[in-house]
Structure 1
């Protein structure tokens, strides 16, 4: 007799599937519009998703301070591993952009942060 053919086994499997689905639906969803982490002092930044590819995120920053600063974008990618973008160094008054790309296996960008 096959392990999965008995009525009791099917009932247990069905209960496990229902419980897993209920847990997944009860979990809070994250949104790319979630508030980004605090932007490092001296930088003014705009973050967002690429207009054509919603798995690509960016941070466009301007150094309003008096010292050189380095920053990068950090993407929280749902089921795929989180990723960091290229490091960008800006002198006072300069602007630059860091981009990163979430893996397609995931659910897309959940949050976008700027890291010093």
Structure 2
């Protein structure tokens, strides 16, 4: 029976392929492996500030003002790392009014990863 692969330096073809794959994986910079999702756009007509509570990294908020000409509803959405994501209370604003929605991630996770405002 004829050999399909030539042995080189004591390595089998599978080991050679694994070594090449490992070398390619290690050549990728560490920063390239971390992907950050883009932050969702704030709904039109609202101007919002978002953030974490000053002394609690598990509580986030969205403080919004309705600059539009129609009534709008919004809520804060927290991406909570290892814990399930959570939504804050729905807040309805008349034109010119301001309001705040807050939410709290479970203590089992790593805290808030992202804060979004949802319409």
Name the TM-score, length of structure 2 as normaliser: 0.69
The RMSD of aligned alpha carbons is 1.7
Counterparts of 2:99 and 2:54, CA distance in 1: 18
Aligned length: 88
2:64 is aligned, of 41, 61, 64, to: 61
Deviating beyond 6 angstroms after TM superposition, the runs of 4 or more aligned structure 1 residues are none
Structure 1, unaligned stretches of length 5 or more? 1-25
Name the counterpart of 1:113. Answer: 116
Larger Rg: 2
Name the TM-score, length of structure 1 as normaliser: 0.71
Query: How far did residue 52 of structure 1 move?
Result: 1.1
2:46 is aligned, of 34, 43, 48, to: 43
Contact 1:68 1:92 in 2 (8 A): yes
Contact 1:69 1:90 in 2 (8 A): yes
Counterparts of 1:50 and 1:81, CA distance in 2: 19
